[in-house]
Amino acid sequence: TLKAGGGQKRKPASWSSSRGAFDHKKALRPVPYLTPGTPAFYFPYEEVSVYDTVLAALRPSGPLLQSLKDYRGCGEEIRKTEQAAWTALVPAVAKLREYYEYSSRKVPLLLGVLTKGDVYLKLEKCQATTKLLADILHFVFAFDDLKMTNPNVQNDFSYYRRTMNRMKMGMPSGGGDAGRVLIGDELANRMSLFYAYPTPMFKCVAETTAIYVNQNSNVDQVAECLWGIAAVCYNAIGKERVTGSED
């Protein structure tokens, strides 16, 4: 059949052809009501699996929306927790700064005394100064050993730096002590590099000693001084072992 304007008129869904009549009740499946008042509609059976899958995924959508509507948030709890963490962090960072400043370059002062003239004669003559250098080296090894076995040192300072960055962005962690800047940016950067190294104290001693040697061109004297102290310490320990001391 044709329309009045000359176009072909669309056949209704129930038209028949040589292939057989189209029965929408057999070929289509009614969709169940999603909500009261929603009209029923039909879709081909080959879409059943897709429809059922998506419908199952949509079922929890209502409770999820209600849950989001009722979402209260944990801002207050987070602020209280961060304030408590900051209160505990302040004295800890002060200690870390003290450790860093204690690593100030004192070894070259002792080497300047012990490496002038005959090194072995100086080690024997300046026993008190030699003992100070040995004590510094003992502290260096003990400090680094403790630092390597305590990850809290680096973790605490990293948290401090993150907190300070939030403050600079206008998002302080809390009131009170949160406004105090314990360490400036330049010092904080140096401390970060210091604590990032597994043996920071030994690295500091090695660097300052290398600078001292380069400035004074006395690598042989410094090597003899350190070798002499190592030999004395080894012999002292050896004698203690021979006498059976357990200290």
List the chain pLDDT tens, one digit each, 247 residues. 444 444 444 444 444 444 455 455 555 555 554 555 555 556 566 677 777 777 777 777 788 778 878 878 888 888 888 888 888 888 899 899 888 887 756 788 888 888 888 888 888 888 888 888 888 888 899 999 999 999 999 899 998 888 888 877 765 444 444 445 578 888 889 999 999 999 998 998 888 888 888 988 888 989 999 998 888 888 878 776 545 444 4
Quick one: pLDDT at residue 148? 92
**DSSP state letters, 91-143:** HHHHHHHHHHHHT-S-HHHHHHHHTSS-HHHHHHH-HHHHHHHHHHHHHHHHH
Q: Tokens 């360490």 correspond to what residue?
A: 183
pLDDT for 145: 93
Q: State the DSSP code for 28.
A: E
pLDDT at residue 7 in the model: 47
> Would you say 173 and 166 are in contact if contact means Cβ atoms under 8 Å apart?
yes
Question: In Å, what is the CA distance from 206 to each residue of 43, 106, 119, 211?
Answer: 80, 12, 20, 9
| Closest by Cα among 30, 182, 174, 1 to 95 | 182
Nearest to 112 by CA among 28, 222, 193, 194: 222
Query: The tokens 């590099």 sit on which residue?
Result: 193
- Quick check: helix, strand or coil at residue 196? helix
Global confidence as pTM: 0.62
> Which pLDDT does position 49 carry in this prediction?
74
End-to-end CA distance of the chain: 114
Q: State the pLDDT at residue 144.
A: 92
Quick one: tokens of 226? Answer: 């350190």
Cβ atoms of 115 and 218 within 8 Å: the answer is yes
| CB contact at 8 A, 209 and 112 | no
Q: Are 123 and 226 a contacting pair, CB within 8 Å?
A: no
